[in-house]
Structure 1
Amino acid sequence: MADQTLAVQERETLPALLRGWRGKCPSCGSGPMLKGYLKVRDHCPVCREELHHHRADDGPAYLTILIVGHLMAPLLLVVFEMFRPEPLVLIAIFSIGTVGLSLYLLPRLKGALIGFQWARQMHGFSKSG
């Protein structure tokens, strides 16, 4: 009975999400999860937790589009109605803002999604460790 309790170890979701958001290993919180902009390491160099079986796929991209779209569309309307800038100025500012926010959010959302999968023991993140 005690062996079963140890085998089904609970993992806290919020700390794993926050570690993933920072680009750190969801298990130890100190090793880097990504080895490039979006490339996930096969395992953590610090605690050796296997990370290769994540299934982030298109989830981070969809979340990025959802968040950026819901922030920028109303902001675009407000800026246009209040200040009436020239169309080229408006396009330039919002293009840079949209691309910048997307590039900022994408790796962080990918890390958070992998942290969520690790905490919930999904897709091969076994109950060990």
Structure 2
Amino acid sequence: MSLSTDTVDHRKTRYDLPATLMACLWRGVLGRCPRCGEGSLFRKWLKPVDSCAHCRLDISGQRADDLPAYIGIFVTGHLLAPVIIALVTGFALSATALLAIIIPLALVMLLGLLQPSKGGVIALQWWNGMHGFRKERAPEPSE
């Protein structure tokens, strides 16, 4: 087949939609567009782009609200609990020394989890067609 007979319509580009919810969430956690996985999801640290630069997905309708902060607090608390227990039972630290270790560690962990959590929430909303997103996946066949 020669190249001259092939016609390519660039306006109807197919995107590699994620096959599973976990693949979609992973794209969001990495800060990538949940639809194509190519474009950046954020223009600033916690400010999502209005639309994907690669596939033009409109992201402006997302409503992550406080859920990313709750996820960050939940994960930080559960990861720090064993650390706190180990510090209290294994070392003779004063309350001031304990707070000087735990508070900065908690803040760094929480701030580090906020953007991935927000990306995951936005990806979850896209996957389910919530808050202005259109459900683009074909329904899975029921067995």
| TM-score calculated relative to the size of structure 2 | 0.77
Question: Which residue is equivalent to 1:36?
Answer: 44
Unpaired stretches in structure 1, ≥5 consecutive residues: 1-8
Question: Which residue is equivalent to 1:51?
Answer: 59
After alignment, is 63-72 or 47-56 more displaced?
A: 63-72
Bigger RCO (CA 8 Å, 6+ sep):
1
Q: Deviation at 1:91?
A: 1.2
Q: Deviation at 1:87?
A: 2.6
**Aligned in 2, Cα 1:51/1:18: closer, same or farther, shift over 3 Å?**
same
**Overall identity of the aligned pairs, in %:** 37
Residue 70 of structure 1: SS of its match in structure 2?
A: helix
| TM-score calculated relative to the size of structure 1 | 0.85
**Aligned in 2, Cα 1:79/1:17: closer, same or farther, shift over 3 Å?**
same
For the pair 1:25 / 2:18, whether they are aligned, the reply is no
Structure with more of its chain in helix, by fraction = 1
**Aligned in 2, Cα 1:10/1:69: closer, same or farther, shift over 3 Å?**
closer
Any conservation in 2 of the 1:31–1:47 contact (CA below 8 Å)?
A: yes
Which residue identity is paired with 1:18?
W
Q: Deviation at 1:86?
A: 3.0
**What is the RMSD of the two structures over their aligned residues, measured on CA atoms?**
1.9
